[in-house]
Amino acid sequence: MSRPEALFPLFAALETLDGVGPKSAEAFAGLAVERPKDLLFLLPHSGIDRTRRASLREVAPPVTATVAVTISAHWPPKQKGRPYRILVQDEALEFQLVYFHARGDYLTKLLPIGEKRLVSGKVEAFDGGLQMVHPDHVLPLEEAESLPLFESVYPLTAGITQKTVLKAVGAALGRSPDLAEWIDPGLLTREGWPAWKAALTMAHSPKSNADLAPTHPARQRLAYDEFFAHQLTLSLARATVRRGKGVASIGTNALQTQVLAGLPYAPTGAQRRAVADIAKDMAAPLRMNRLLQGDVGSGKTLVAFLALLIAVEAGGQGVMMAPTEILARQHHEGLAPLAALAGVRLELLTGRDKGAERQRKLEDLAAGKIHILVGTHAVFQKDVHFKDLRLAIIDEQHRFGVAQRMELGAKGPAADVLVMTATPIPRSLALASYGDMDVSVLDEKPPGRQPIRTALISTQRIEEVVTKLRQALGEGRQAYWVCPLVEDSEVLDYASAEARFQQLRAALGEGRVAMVHGQMPAAEKDAAMESFVRGERQVLVATTVIEVGVNVPNASIMVIERAETFGLAQLHQLRGRVGRGAALSTCLLMYQSPLSESGERRLKILRDTEDGFRIAEEDLAMRGAGDLLGTAQSGLPRFRVADLERQSALMAIAQSDARKLLHDDPGLQSPRGQAARGLLWLLDQDRAIRLISVG
């Protein structure tokens, strides 16, 4: 589908705008501005009050002020490098204008003695009087009207000045057409939002600081446009996945009942609800695309296994993928007793499988003799074929890209997809990253999970910690000791773990301590982990490689060094490695004092709650969205106007609105649908438009 003609002027080259030459066009790239339309969404971040005063008597320096003055005298510098001073008089006060490195002939023309001028700039106290250094504006009184009472301040980059931006933005606004409305009329009225073009004009010409707030109707509307376009794109992607017709997998409940009867506990209400959601999706003729979100220890494994059994009951196969070999092995070990209860064949496939052994697994998989496969991304390899893949479960989604999700779909063209994550994500972020999915949340802890005692302790007391640890090991307990990431350098990171490892070995005994870190060869890392899992080693010194999924029920102590350097979500994940067995568990957060205010707030939240969702909301409030999911791999969209933290409520409205529009008008053919296509073009979501045209 081609771009609407009304938008052509906004997609022209930047140099076609007044005041933008090839050089500044190149510099604008530093602000991610490549075409006139990008300038529309480059909003001012602050403003300067240029209200006229009768005299500087009314102001308290340092402050920006605007006042009419009469020029009394010029005092050129006596020595090189000294400032050029000009004496001026307003209604009630004498003060000086100060210029550095200025040419006298230029200043005598700009500020002729005896004449009146309007000056505006930063006023400061100096030597008992007031001075204005390098005024921002000097205008003849008849041009005073051209100075806005409140001047917008834009983000800048090397080679671009405020004047350049102001002029370019003005030119881009002049090219903006009146576009048909894409927002639902009821919503527009209810929120009291302006039309698109009016909103842009208001956002670029604020009258006061209040107009710059994310709560201002014009800014809310433009933020909503971004969220809406984003959710439309996700919904279209989801519809494309859905259009890839699924196969209805209807379970018989026979295997599930067998497994549940053999368990020593009953599933929680949350687990039952999640299984019911999944079963309903799998029974439908459309492909499932669901996210299972569960805090540490909420029992995702059981839900995943019951879902895999639905696929087997329906005559198909299931696969479960983990991001690392250690995790794949653990899933395999965790699922083996359940598979035994159900009487189904479960196998593990990783990069380690070689030769005849691997060949045998591949043949059995293709023949349908293996019901459930657990693996790493080795499952993506060309020679891996399923007889009838019905369900793919991906653990820790943010480690797998969307492209890999697609590849997996190709293994079973009709396979349902369930994504699991143990990272509690606040609702607004979940909608931004997973808006194309339906979400099930496990928000109850299974019976028998022990609470974890969390304590804060300063690094100065490390000797005490080691002594206490020695006692605990004497009672047969196991412990993790997590070392900080030092300076983001893997070399140093390795050094900090290495040094702590040597020290603890000396203090606790050679044969008691193992170590894992990111620099070790995989086989060595696995061997060290194994020795800890089997209980041959009692202390595991590690960098954050153990953050996700490692399960050692006997480990009941977690020491985290320099805890203040970790993110909240990460600390919560690490703490979740203990508290998995019968013993009462302890987590020690060691910090280096003095703690910053935010560092203290973070650690106290962890001490006071084990609720991952509450922790995630706090984390979002404190650090922002990009940091929370780790910008590099978060897959979070980059919004230009919208602020995910402060305007998160709009995201939920945008999702339901986008889904409703596509439900009523899947091809975006109605007048509102056509308007929405224009919005997708404006916000570079033309991928989404290709998705409609494919369908």
**Residue that is last in its domain, among 116, 147, 178:** 147
Domain termination site, one of 124, 147, 170: 147
**What pTM did the predictor assign?**
0.64
**Could you report the per-residue pLDDT of 46-104, keeping only the tens digit for each?**
999 999 999 999 888 899 999 999 999 999 998 888 999 999 999 999 999 999 988 88
Say if residue 137 is in the same domain as residue 65: yes
Query: Mean pLDDT lowest for which of 98-112, 329-343, 675-689?
Result: 675-689
Q: How many CA atoms lie within 13 A of 499 on its CB side?
A: 10
Is 205 among the domain residues? yes
Using the structure block, give the residue that is written with the tokens 């697609």. Answer: 406
Same domain, 207 and 91: no
Phi, psi of 158 (to 5 degrees): -55, 130
On the question of pLDDT at 683 being above 80, the answer is yes
Tell whether the model's pLDDT for residue 173 goes beyond 90: yes
- The SS3 assignment for 161 reads coil
pLDDT reported for residue 610: 82
Examine the fold and report which residue of 147, 181, 199 is the final residue of a domain before the chain moves on: 147
Pair 180, 36 in one domain: yes
Neighbours of 149 (CB within 10 A): 11
Looking at the structure, tell me whether residues 160 and 308 fall in a common domain.
no
161 in the same domain as 31: yes
Question: Directed axis angle between helix 648-664 and helix 217-243, to 10°?
Answer: 50
Q: Which has the higher per-residue pLDDT, 408 or 159?
A: 159
Give CA angle at 101 (95, 106), nearest 5°: 75
User: Does the structure show a pLDDT above 90 at 430?
Assistant: no
User: Do 80 and 42 fall within a single domain?
Assistant: no
The whole-chain average pLDDT of the chain stands at 85
Banded model confidence at residue 412, pLDDT cuts 50, 70, 90: low
Say if strands 416-421 and 289-294 run parallel, antiparallel, or are unpaired.
parallel
Which pLDDT tens digit goes with each residue over 540-566? 998 766 655 567 888 899 999 988 888
Q: Who has greater pLDDT, 449 or 591?
A: 591
Mean pLDDT of 14-22: 90
Question: Is the pLDDT confidence value at 37 over 80?
Answer: yes
Distance of CA 482 to the CA centre of its chain: 25
CA distance 623 to 187: 31
Q: What is the CATH number of the domain that holds 336?
A: 3.40.50.300
pLDDT of residue 487: 47
Contact yes or no for 442/415 (Cβ under 8 A): no
Show the domain range for 106.
51-147
Query: Per-residue pLDDT averaged across 653-676, rounded?
Result: 91
> According to the model, what pLDDT value does residue 19 have?
84
Q: Which of 432-446, 493-507, 541-555, 674-688 has the highest mean pLDDT?
A: 674-688
Same domain, 329 and 281: yes
Query: Does residue 93 share a domain with residue 30?
Result: no
pLDDT in tens, 261-298: 998 888 989 999 999 999 999 998 888 888 898 877 77
Tokens representing 637 are 């969209």
Q: Residue 632: its pLDDT value, please?
A: 32
470 three-class SS: helix
DSSP code at position 317: E
Residue 403 has pLDDT above 60, yes or no: no
Query: Same domain, yes or no, for 125 and 190?
Result: no
What DSSP letter does each residue of 128-144 carry, written as one string? TEEEEES-SEEEEGGGG
Decide: 200 and 176 in contact? Cβ < 8 Å: yes
Say if 248 falls within a structural domain.
no
Q: Is residue 650 part of a domain?
A: no
> Is there a contact between 300 and 420 (Cβ–Cβ < 8 Å)?
yes
Separation CA 542–CA 493 (nearest Å): 10
Report which residue type is found at 617.
Answer: E
Q: Identify whether residues 108 and 32 lie together within a single domain.
A: no
- Predicted pLDDT of residue 635: 45
Q: What is the pLDDT of residues 203-251, one digit of tens each?
A: 999 999 899 998 999 999 999 999 999 888 888 876 766 655 678 899 9
The string of pLDDT tens digits covering residues 154-166 is 998 888 988 899 9
Verify that 98 and 26 share a domain, yes or no. no
Query: For 169-173, 564-568, 659-663, which range has the lowest pLDDT when averaged over its residues?
Result: 564-568
Token look-up 């159900």 returns 342
The pLDDT, as a whole number, for residue 451 is: 83
- Confidence tier at 630 by pLDDT (50, 70, 90): very low
Number of domains the chain is built from: 4
Q: Residue 415 and residue 434: Cα distance in Å, rounded?
A: 19
More confident residue, 97 or 5: 97
Which pLDDT band holds residue 569 (cuts at 50, 70, 90)? confident
pLDDT for the residue numbered 131: 94
Report the CATH number that the domain containing residue 127 is assigned in CATH.
2.40.50.140
Question: Collapsing DSSP states into helix, strand and coil, what is residue 2?
Answer: coil
346: β partners: 372
Which among 172, 166, 168, 202 has a CA at the least distance from the CA of 10? 172
Residue 15 in tokens: 């140099």
Q: Cα torsion at 241, 242, 243, 248 (round to 10°)?
A: 120
Residue 684 lies in a domain: no
Residue 643 domain-assigned (yes or no): no
Predicted local distance difference test score (pLDDT) of residue 565: 81
Burial of residue 143 (CB within 10 Å: 0-12, 13-18, 19+) is exposed
Does residue 307 sit within a domain? Answer: yes
Element spanning 220, H or E:
helix 217-243
- In this predicted structure, the answer to whether residue 299 has a pLDDT above a threshold of 60 is yes
Task: Give a yes or no: residue 680 inside a domain.
Answer: no
Residue 471 shares a structural domain with residue 601: yes
Beta pairing partners, 539: 479, 513
Query: Nearest-5° angle of CA 135, CA 140, CA 142?
Result: 135
* pLDDT at residue 622 is higher than 70: no
Identify the pLDDT of residue 206: 93
When mean pLDDT is compared across 151-155, 466-470, 489-493, the lowest value belongs to 489-493
Residue 294 pLDDT = 82
221 belongs to a structural domain: no
Q: Residues 285-319, buried b or exposed e (16+ Cβ, 10 A)?
A: ebbbbbbbbbbbbbbbbbbbbbbbbbbbbbebbbb
Bridge partners of 374, per DSSP, are 320, 348
Q: How confident is the model at residue 582 (pLDDT cuts 50, 70, 90)?
A: confident
488 in the Ramachandran plot: left (φ > 0), alpha (ψ -120 to 50) or beta? left
- Is residue 336 very low, low, confident or very high in pLDDT (cuts 50, 70, 90)? very high
Could you tell me which residues are beta bridge partners of residue 515?
A: 541
* pLDDT for 397: 53
